A and B are shown apart, each in its own frame.
Chain A
Amino acid sequence: MLIMKDISKIFQTGDIQTHALRDFNLTVNEGDFISVTGPSGSGKTTFLNIAGLLETYTHGEFLLDGEDVGKLNDNGRSRMRNEKIGFIFQGFNLIPDLNLFDNVDVPLRYRGFNAKQRKLRIEENLERVGLASRMKHLPSQLSGGQQQRVAIARALATSPRFLLADEPTGNLDSEMANGVMSLLEEINQQGTTIVMVTHDALLAERATRTIQVKDGRVSELEILAQQAIA
């Protein structure tokens, strides 16, 4: 489903080159719930950005759902993000001026669904995260946990093939974090593939597979595991 082969990402600042990812290899299969851990600056976020088509890579090969991402132009990447990927951000990234209904509506409009289809999907997904009764509320009227649930509803609304979660519980207390994790587990059990970047070792363990990123590479432990899977 997601195959990265020898992916490198080099940031150039003047004469200085920074290797954020080096020969990064990873295969994510349908139904996986992968947690990505690693120290700060290890390249987790760069991996997530590349996996989510938010950034381009410098070298290597990246196939998403069989499509060579390197051959896509900006519009093609936008389309693929919209159709196949759902994002959950650490800071929720809800639009503060829009109520929950309109927030979940944002990616659906970019997909081009009609009003009836959008309404159905919005209500269905807000129901799924337990916030159907608060559709007209603004994000600021909700707790952090509830806001992250809205973000999850927004991510799920377009029926993506997989969810990319960037520290989804990073801004939540443990109780709320636990609730969000339970929701992600439930979503995964219903068939959605999830890749989650986290600092939290306990949460990482709840994933079905854990990879460690160190100095821009998948750590040896994971490489061995991948070989075993293969």
Chain B
Amino acid sequence: MLESGIIIRALMRNKIGALLIALQIALTMTIMVNAIFMIQDRQQQMQRESGIDEKNTFYLTNTVFAQDYNIQVEMQADLNLIRKMPGVVDAIQINAIPLSGGGWSMALQHEPGDDKDTVSSALYMVDDHGINTLGVELIAGVNFTPNDIQWRASGQSTWPDKTIITKAFAKSLYPDDWQSALGKTFYISQNQPMQIVGVMKNLQAPWNGWSGVERSMLVPFQMESQGSKYLIRTEAGRRDELMPIIEKALAERIKGRLIRRVTTIEDTRKKSYRQHNATNKILTTVVSTLTLITGFGIVGLALFSINRRTKQIGTRRALGATKWQIMRYFMVENFIISTFGVIFGCIGAIALNMWLATTFNLTPINIELIIIGAITLFIVGQLAVLYPARKASLISPATATRTI
């Protein structure tokens, strides 16, 4: 008794308004589903763990300008000073910071020589304190020993013969059995052998948008460079307290260099994903606005339709329709229009996703999102038509006998 047959036949004879609303619903669904998909994708990216102890870690830059400055000696003295401070877990010199946007990338290959298949990875130069300072989990193999650590001069092209890589990197090298990467020798810079001595659970690269963000490697290098970074990990909850203390202690220990840019990893993460956050906010605003416009469109069409059919509604009431039956008529009508809109919306959403997936290398949309989008638009439609439908139900049956 839902009059759906009669409503469909009536709509077919008066289709322009309904068609426009159905198209609006379809367009909204197409954009909404894909926008939510993109928002979710970014949210997932932002929720990925960097692998390091973000809450308790910060870094600073050490820029040497004095001519008679012994970089090797002073750097070791700096690290000894920091490591001995109460509340500090460990500290290292490092060439790049995860998620910071700037770093080094190198490739490993199974065999030496040119034109061989390579797998690229972010490269972090650390000493034997690297694992502890970063707070990464070593899941196979061993850490570097103090004897493994070499000094790297600026512009040096040779590499140490040991490395610790992430599990994701090991999987890229050995897709079927990542553990078999341990102990294997690979080649860096085409022909320099490098043995994998350890595997970390995870450590992200400095570039969050890179498809290989989970592929990282540690090499036992300390840089003899005028500009370097110190990464410091503190005991839980003591980071903010120690940041100014360490900055001051380093600045006072020796002149001839600048200690600057004391930054937490948490701030680095925020900065790294600032664009993601902004894009998500914009997409959320667009989707909300579009959904609201669709809702208003439904209200507008329903009100117009009701004003046009005042006498008809009065006649229906005169013929025995209850207020609820009048309301139900418009709600069913909206449901039918929404159904057409949602069907076309599903097709549109999948088509747009296929295009996005091909063009921007996104993963395909999941069916749950399409179902949620459809349900949302049905609910929006029903809520939007509620007020006009209620208004229609209040039309007096006496309207039937009035000359309008």
Beyond A54-B396, A97-B10, A105-B6, whether A78 also contacts B401 by CB under 8 A is no
Residue of A nearest to B316 (CB): A106
| B342-386 near A? 1/0 per residue, CB < 8 Å | 000000000000000000000000000000000000000000000
Interface residues of B: mostly helix, strand, loop or mixed? helix
Interface residue A48 (Cβ < 8 Å from any Cβ of B):
yes
The reply to whether A54 and B318 form a contact with Cβ atoms under 8 Å apart is yes
Interface residue B224 (Cβ < 8 Å from any Cβ of A):
no
Interface residue B3 (Cβ < 8 Å from any Cβ of A):
yes
Complex-state Cα separation, A83 to B321, whole angstroms: 11
Interface residue A62 (Cβ < 8 Å from any Cβ of B):
no
Beyond A95-B315, A97-B14, A105-B6, whether A81 also contacts B320 by CB under 8 A is yes
How many positions in chain A have a CB within 8 Å of any CB in the partner chain? 35
Complex-state Cα separation, A75 to B324, whole angstroms: 9
B-chain residues with CB within 8 Å of residue A52 when the two chains form the complex? 318, 401
Say which size band chain B's interface belongs to.
20 to 34
Complex-state Cα separation, A74 to B312, whole angstroms: 18
Interface residue A141 (Cβ < 8 Å from any Cβ of B):
no
The reply to whether B403 and A55 form a contact with Cβ atoms under 8 Å apart is no
Complex-state Cα separation, A111 to B10, whole angstroms: 20
Closest CB in chain A relative to B254 CB, distance in Å? 90
The reply to whether A110 and B325 form a contact with Cβ atoms under 8 Å apart is yes
The reply to whether A110 and B321 form a contact with Cβ atoms under 8 Å apart is yes
Interface residue A91 (Cβ < 8 Å from any Cβ of B):
yes
The reply to whether B398 and A54 form a contact with Cβ atoms under 8 Å apart is yes
| B155-170 near A? 1/0 per residue, CB < 8 Å | 0000000000000000
Beyond A78-B317, A107-B320, whether A54 also contacts B3 by CB under 8 A is no
| B382-398 near A? 1/0 per residue, CB < 8 Å | 00000000000000111
Given contacts A102-B6, A102-B9, 11 further A-B contacts (CB under 8 A): A54-B318, A54-B400, A55-B398, A74-B322, A79-B322, A89-B400, A93-B400, A105-B6, A106-B6, A112-B1, A158-B320
Can you name 18 A-B pairs with beta carbons within 8 Å?
A49-B401, A54-B318, A54-B396, A54-B400, A78-B325, A79-B320, A79-B322, A81-B319, A81-B397, A82-B320, A90-B403, A95-B315, A98-B10, A102-B9, A106-B6, A106-B319, A110-B320, A138-B13
Q: Which residues of A contact B (CB under 8 A)?
A: 45, 48-49, 52-55, 74-75, 78-79, 81-83, 87, 89-91, 93, 95, 97-99, 102, 105-107, 109-112, 138, 154, 158, 166
